[in-house]
Amino acid sequence: MRLLIACGITLIAILLVIALLVRQFEMDQFGVENLDGTLQIPQRIWTYWDDDEIPPLVQRCIDSWRRFNPTFTITVLKKETLATYLDVDLRGLRHANENPAKFSDFVRLHVLSRHGGIWMDASVICQAPLDWIFDVQEETGVEFVGYRTRKHTLPEYEGICDVLETSVFACVPGAAFVTAWRDELMRINDYADVNDYIAAVRASGVDTQNAILDPYWVVYIAQIATLQRNRTFNKTMYLLEACDTIFAY
């Protein structure tokens, strides 16, 4: 009898562990729902570093994220580990390998559109907890939390098609805007020269505002094009002014 009870308890424990693992997998893949059915932004920080060795300054930045957000999962992506999180090989894209910054632009949009979470450039220092992001998302139900830059946004586009800062932003898994932004950035691979993509965007009627028209900054051109072509995306976003917040120090 005791043996049967012990076996039963063991079986229940195993089933509970399996259930927890399945739940964690679902959370990682599809996010967690709020009570109203909207997806939550996962408490996970993503970044990318191109070299095998992380320099002391970058490590200090990453350590600051962990210090202020001790319960968050922090993932430092490398080219060799991307296949764990993505089903597309970014290394084979036409323009992805032109410089590390451009490669990281592809990484951030592909990873966050699929998994959600918070993107932080490896050079970003955290000076306070990031809990406010989740408070904002819970209160507003938005899919995207980020920063706009008045320096590059023309007045007539404020609140409609803002130019965004790409070094820090957060979103739910499958966020419509980030997914569309990712798809727009992928279009540069249809052109032999990134300048041709930029010219095509402008010729289509997109106002690139005060963005820098250089292939190095093409992720901003793709972002502007995405918002101007679908002006409903701004309703899914909560934006702070970068010059008054992350750039104010």
58 and 115 share a domain? Answer: yes
Q: Residue 183: what pLDDT? A: 98
Establish if 140 belongs to a structural domain.
Answer: yes
Establish if 226 belongs to a structural domain.
Answer: yes
DSSP letter string, 30-68 = H--B-TTSPBPPPSEEEEE-SSSSPPHHHHHHHHHHHHH
101 and 205 share a domain? Answer: yes
pLDDT in tens, the chain (249 residues): 555 555 555 555 454 434 333 344 444 444 555 545 579 999 999 999 988 899 999 999 999 999 999 999 999 999 999 999 999 999 999 999 999 999 999 999 999 999 999 999 999 999 999 999 999 999 999 999 999 998 899 999 998 899 999 999 999 999 999 999 999 999 999 999 999 999 999 999 999 999 999 999 999 999 999 999 999 999 999 999 987 877 766
What is the three-class DSSP state of 90? Answer: helix
Establish if 195 belongs to a structural domain.
Answer: yes
Q: Residue 246: what pLDDT? A: 74
Establish if 42 belongs to a structural domain.
Answer: yes
What residue numbers bound the domain in which 92 lies?
34-244
Establish if 41 belongs to a structural domain.
Answer: yes
The C-alpha atoms of residue 86 and residue 92 are separated, in whole angstroms, by 13
92 and 15 share a domain? Answer: no
CATH code for the domain of 162: 3.90.550
Instruction: Work out how many domains the chain is built from and give that number.
Output: 2
49 and 62 share a domain? Answer: yes
110 and 88 share a domain? Answer: yes
The C-alpha atoms of residue 108 and residue 222 are separated, in whole angstroms, by 14
- Give CA angle at 146 (144, 151), nearest 5°: 135
3 and 97 share a domain? Answer: no
Cβ burial, residue 41 (10 Å; 0-12/13-18/19+): buried
Of the CA atoms within 13 Å of residue 40, those in its CB half-sphere come to: 16
Establish if 70 belongs to a structural domain.
Answer: yes
Q: Provide the greatest CA pair distance for the chain.
A: 80
50 and 165 share a domain? Answer: yes
Q: Which residues, in sequence order, are CB contacts of 42 under 8 Å at separation 6+?
A: 27, 28, 31, 32, 73, 115, 116, 117, 172, 173
Residue-level length of the chain: 249
The C-alpha atoms of residue 249 and residue 247 are separated, in whole angstroms, by 6
Note whether 188 and 155 are within 8 A (CB): no
Establish if 249 belongs to a structural domain.
Answer: no
Establish if 62 belongs to a structural domain.
Answer: yes
Q: Which residues, in sequence order, are CB contacts of 215 under 8 Å at separation 6+?
A: 95, 98, 102, 193, 194, 195, 198
Estimate the share of the chain in helix, then strand, then coil, as percent rounded to the nearest 5.
50, 10, 35
45 and 140 share a domain? Answer: yes
113 and 7 share a domain? Answer: no
2 and 98 share a domain? Answer: no
Q: Residue 75: what pLDDT? A: 98
Dihedral pair phi/psi, residue 21, rounded to 5°: -65, -40
Note whether 209 and 160 are within 8 A (CB): no
Phi-psi bin for 206: left (phi > 0), alpha (psi -120 to 50), beta? beta
Q: Residue 220: what pLDDT? A: 97
The C-alpha atoms of residue 34 and residue 36 are separated, in whole angstroms, by 5
Q: Residue 52: what pLDDT? A: 86
137 and 93 share a domain? Answer: yes
- Cβ neighbours of 67 (radius 10 Å): 10
- List the 168-171 sheet strands across, edge first: 73-77, 44-48, 117-120, 168-171, 144-148, 237-241
Q: Residue 16: what pLDDT? A: 44
88 and 19 share a domain? Answer: no
